[in-house]
Chain A
Amino acid sequence: MNAKVTQTNPEGSAQKEAPKSEGERKKGSKFLQILLVPILALLTGFIIGAIVIALSNDAVIAAYRNFFHAPGAALAATWKAIVTAYGALFNGSIGSFTEIRQGIQSYYATGDSKPFLLAIYPFTESLATVTPYILAGLAVAVGFKCGLFNIGAEGQFGIGALCSAFVGYSIHGLPWFIHLPLALLAGAAGGALWGAIPGYLKGLTGAHEVVITIMMNYISFRLSDWLLNGPMKAPGYRPLTPVVESSAMLPRFFPDPLRFNWGFFLALAMAVFVYWFLFKTTIGFEIRAVGANPDGARYAGMNIVRNFVIAMTLSGGLAGLAGATQVLGIDHWVGQGFSAGYGFDSIAIALLGQSHPLGVVLAALLWGTLRSGATRMQSLAGVPIEIISIIQGLVIVFVAAPAFIRWIYRIRAISVQTTVLTRGWGK
């Protein structure tokens, strides 16, 4: 069995496995070309987003009413709206460089670290937000590698969060080096179970994982509704769990309100693990083979059902771990709508990262930073957060349709073979 994949494909494995005979120069340019589509996709998404921002801004609409009298004013108003919005987005996600510099200066001058901490708050908040996205993106990417579309990341995230919160608040008196891993494990196990069910059903009966995982999502929402209003409810009126014990919280680096915690490095470690698992183990190879060509894999004697189940279980476990890091590292309790948005975000991240662990980490960094800044964009520039969802959907379309991007930007087609990511309804 030829372990070297001799064809390049958008899943990015050209970076690792292009045959040496192609020559280093071609390899480099192929790498660039593979990077080109995601970058252009993002760019196009943001351009369209800018148009939507401008069109939904009252000042801009008012300025355009006078377009023929004062075209410059209308254009200026448009530019201002877009710049304010995206500027607020940047400020909210990374922070302002001047403030950071001032913070460092005042720390050296007076020993007061507060201005510095306030200045780096947006950046640390972004990193904290990125953590669950890395894990959830890895979850969907693992699914894609096996040819499975795991839309159930949101449900697995939620179930994982609930499981880890339960272990976190209900067990008392354990030292942190037992309690914390236990809680994390509980989250991963919950998510793994929620992912294994669709995987098993797909393998055994051929039922399409897209609809099954979506249904599992809705079931998990109802389940969490019941749990948060019933058995897992903290005393009081609001439907949320009790706060987890401090022995189960992921340690933070800075004092409150900065929430950057160990979860970030845990996520990076999991990315390394997924890379090793997918590319350096036999099971990983089988999973990728099943994803690339199930019939060929079956002919080679691989057990398709087993690989589906393993892939979906791992995928669910990663998503569950994402939920766990969100609970144990950031919020410390679970409320309603806890997992909202993570499902579709992780799909975008996995697609943008071409289902490769490194790409997923980079894409998650970008996405989490954007999400983190979007709240600021809403409060400062009055742009509803949902604009990010629109940009997101567009980016997914553009990444999944390289031909479309090439058509827009008149790029010559690269000789890539598109891997079929999903299949029809039957077995």
Chain B
Amino acid sequence: MATNLVNKNEKKSNLRTRLVPGIFLIVAGMVILLLFGVNIQSGQQTTFGLTPLGDTNVIPIPDLVLPVQGAIYILALITFFVGGWQLARGVRSTTLLIGAVAFCFIAAFLIWAARGKSMDLVGMMNTSMVRATPIALAALCGVVSERAGVVNIALEGIMLMSALTSVMVATLSHNLYAGLLAGILTGMFVAALHAILVIQFKVDQIISGVAINIIGTGATSFISNRYMQTNIDTLNNSGVFSNLPIPLLVKIPILGPVLFENNLIVYLMLILVAVIYVLLFYTPWGLRTRAVGEHPKAADTLGINVYLTRYINVILGGLIAGIGGSYFTIGSVGRFDQLMTAGKGFIGLAAMIFGNWNPIGALGSSLIFGFADSLQVKMQILQTPIHTEFLQMAPYIVTIVVLAGVVGHVHPPAADGTAYEKQ
């Protein structure tokens, strides 16, 4: 009797857990049809440029031309199909489900937004990668720091201060590398401050982070207004790292221009993701770090110096954030403006959480945010009938949705956020 009851309940909950995503998918398919598929003039086409305009490095491939109506119908059909499969049999991987519906929705949106016109798709992918760079660097800093158990919300302040010092030193010394070094040192210094406050003086980690953000915004705005805006040529005009195409790899169509035709800082970011991943999961140092982050007391009894590990990790994170901050100035526009980070530090934190405190996950979620960012610019260019301000809200709304939807399914390091008292 009991077994029957259990089976019946199991079947019920199985059905319910299958129903909800399935219905969601079917509804999504209908939304795609209704939002994007109606009112299309027959014969209208969208052209997706697969070779960035004016790019001579890559082997040119022809553009992708899609009939708008047909493509949207097919995308809606795919969504319906996956939804139906989910209802009938259940799809094992929720990631696949989310990925499928997200892909169809975004593809349909792009096709609809660019109907009758052409859109440089590969160019947009490259922009996504580039815009994701500071977010990914911020997320990496967060990963390195939080894996050891120290919450580092001061990313915004650190990046602002690194941005300022890097451009100032680069302009003064006429050397971009000196600027990068200055940015890195600034990042390490401010992170060390945070570490001292949090580890030595046991300040609440979030408050310390917020205080550093306030000081950072105040100090950089102060220096910017007082010195940088008035002495532009001597202090605030550094030039930018130029793109370095990697000789052979850049020829690959689509992937080439996206991955292998960027500037130094983007390459550094990609290298750091790989390096931190290997360090964290395949070396003894990484094991010690993660032990400290999960259970500092146990790590301490094993002889690991908890304080030292945390100091090293936070300062290493500061190094990474310093590179991220330098990106805003010497990697992008070549000058400093007040408050130019515009929340990218916090979005990086969200990317870290969404990526489950894993460097590669952090990169993936940063790419998503970078895509949302570049989409917003593209939509303005294409004159989509959505107000720019709403498009600008998109990255922030995505962050909220991601955070709200994802907590409970991700696992922060267990001792994250708590000060450690050696007993």
Contacts and interface: CB of A to CB of B under 8 A. Distances in A.
Nearest to A420: B204
Contact of A215 (B206, B208, B346, B387): B346
Interface in A319-353: 344, 347-348, 351
Interface stretch (B1-9, B20-28, B175-183, B392-400): B392-400
B215 A390 contact: yes
B412 interface: yes
Contacts of B417: 422-425
A387 interface: yes
Interface size for chain B: under 10, 10 to 19, 20 to 34, or 35 or more residues? Answer: 35 or more
A422 to B, nearest CB: 4
A201 interface: yes
B407 A205 contact: yes
Contacts of A211: 346, 349-350, 353, 399, 403
| Secondary structure call for the B interface | helix
Interface in B180-222: 197, 201-208, 210-219, 221-222
B381 interface: no
Interface string A381-399: 0001011111011101100
A424 B294 CA distance: 13
A226 B225 CA distance: 27
A35 to B, nearest CB: 20
B201 A390 contact: no
Contact of B204 (A214, A215, A223, A400): A400
A28 to B, nearest CB: 28
A206 B218 CA distance: 31
Interface in B383-423: 387, 389-390, 392-393, 396-397, 399-400, 403-405, 407-408, 411-412, 416-418
Nearest to B403: A207
Interface string A192-224: 000000000100111110111011101100110
| Secondary structure call for the A interface | helix
Contact of B396 (A205, A215, A344, A351): A215
Given A223-B393, A347-B210, A386-B219, A424 B204 contact: no
Given A400-B203, A407-B201, A425-B412, A387 B215 contact: no
B206 A214 contact: no
B389 A424 contact: no
Given A205-B405, A226-B389, A230-B387, A425 B207 contact: no
B89 interface: no
A215 B151 contact: no
A305 interface: no
B342 to A, nearest CB: 8
A422 B206 CA distance: 7
B197 A387 contact: no
B205 to A, nearest CB: 8
Given A56-B226, A215-B396, A425 B151 contact: yes
Contacts of A222: 389-390, 392-393, 396
B421 to A, nearest CB: 12
Given A205-B407, A403-B201, A424-B151, A393 B208 contact: no
A57 B217 CA distance: 20
Contacts of A386: 218-219, 221-222, 225
Given A205-B405, A212-B403, A421 B215 contact: no
A384 B407 contact: no
A211 B412 CA distance: 15
Contacts of A425: 151, 353, 407, 412, 416-417
A384 B210 contact: no
Contacts of A56: 222, 226
Nearest to B196: A404
Given A205-B405, A225-B389, A397 B396 contact: no
B389 A397 contact: no
Contacts of B399: 211, 215
B215 A201 contact: no
A57 B376 CA distance: 43
Contact of A219 (B203, B211, B217, B396): B396
Nearest to B338: A386
Given A384-B225, A384-B226, A403-B202, A344 B207 contact: no
Contacts of A423: 417
A151 interface: yes
Q: Which among A149, A214, A216, A229 has the greatest number of chain B C-beta atoms within 10 A? A: A214
A50 to B, nearest CB: 14
Nearest to B202: A403
A386 B160 CA distance: 15
A427 interface: yes
Given A214-B346, A424-B151, A390 B397 contact: no
B153 interface: yes
B99 interface: no
A282 B365 CA distance: 43
Interface of A: 52, 56, 149, 151, 201, 204-208, 210-212, 214-216, 218-219, 222-223, 225-226, 229-230, 344, 347-348, 351, 384, 386-390, 392-394, 396-397, 400-401, 403-404, 407, 418, 420-427
11 contacts: A210-B153, A226-B389, A386-B225, A387-B218, A392-B218, A393-B211, A400-B208, A401-B203, A401-B208, A418-B202, A424-B416
Given A218-B396, A392-B218, 5 more contacts: A208-B407, A401-B203, A401-B208, A404-B201, A426-B416
